[in-house]
Every structure is written in structure tokens, then in C-alpha cells.
């Protein structure tokens, strides 16, 4: 589990940034151990990211410890 404390109300609709600084869609929900990201409108992509992959939340972005190419593993 991540040591980063995430209040679901504060991170709702915040963007996610990968470790190589690519920005991805907004957070649309959370579970006990993951965050759910939706990206795009017409061809929406949904990602379920384990909270253990979160490095930090800076008030604007939720920063991940993985790269953009690694993010594709979590697409559902």
C-alpha cells in the first residue's frame, strides 16, 4: 500500500502524471487499493492503477512511479 495519503474528494478529476512526465486523464474514482482513471471522450480509455504506484500528490497532479509505456499494463 502506498504511504501517500489520498482523500478521494481532493483527487477527484485531478490528472495523473507518469514518472516520465506525461499527463493522463482525470481520476474518476478510487477503491481501497487503487485509483480509476478515464481518458478521452469518444474512445475512452480506463485505467485501474494500484495505489502502491503513487509517488506523491502535489495538489495538482497525482504522480506515479511508472512510465507512460508501463501505464498501458493497467488499461482495462
Domain containing residue 45: CATH number: 2.30.30.240
Q: What pLDDT score does 1 carry?
A: 41
**Residue 49 belongs to domain spanning:** 8-74
Task: Flag whether 13 is in a domain.
Answer: yes
Q: What pLDDT score does 49 carry?
A: 96
pLDDT tens profile 38-75: 998 888 999 999 999 999 999 999 999 999 999 999 99
Task: Flag whether 1 is in a domain.
Answer: no
Cα of first residue to Cα of last residue in the chain, in angstroms, is 21
Task: Flag whether 21 is in a domain.
Answer: yes
Could you give the number of structural domains in the chain?
1
Task: Flag whether 17 is in a domain.
Answer: yes
Strands 61-64 and 15-17: parallel
* pTM for the structure as a whole: 0.88
Task: Flag whether 3 is in a domain.
Answer: no
Amino acid at each position: 500500500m502506498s504511504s501517500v495519503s489520498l482523500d478521494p474528494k481532493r483527487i477527484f478529476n485531478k490528472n495523473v502524471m507518469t514518472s516520465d512526465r506525461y499527463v493522463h486523464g482525470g481520476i474518476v474514482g478510487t477503491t481501497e487499493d487503487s485509483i480509476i482513471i478515464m481518458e478521452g471522450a469518444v474512445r475512452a480509455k480506463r485505467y485501474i492503477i494500484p495505489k502502491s504506484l503513487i509517488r506523491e500528490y502535489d495538489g495538482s497532479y497525482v504522480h506515479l512511479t511508472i512510465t507512460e509505456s508501463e501505464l498501458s499494463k493497467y488499461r482495462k
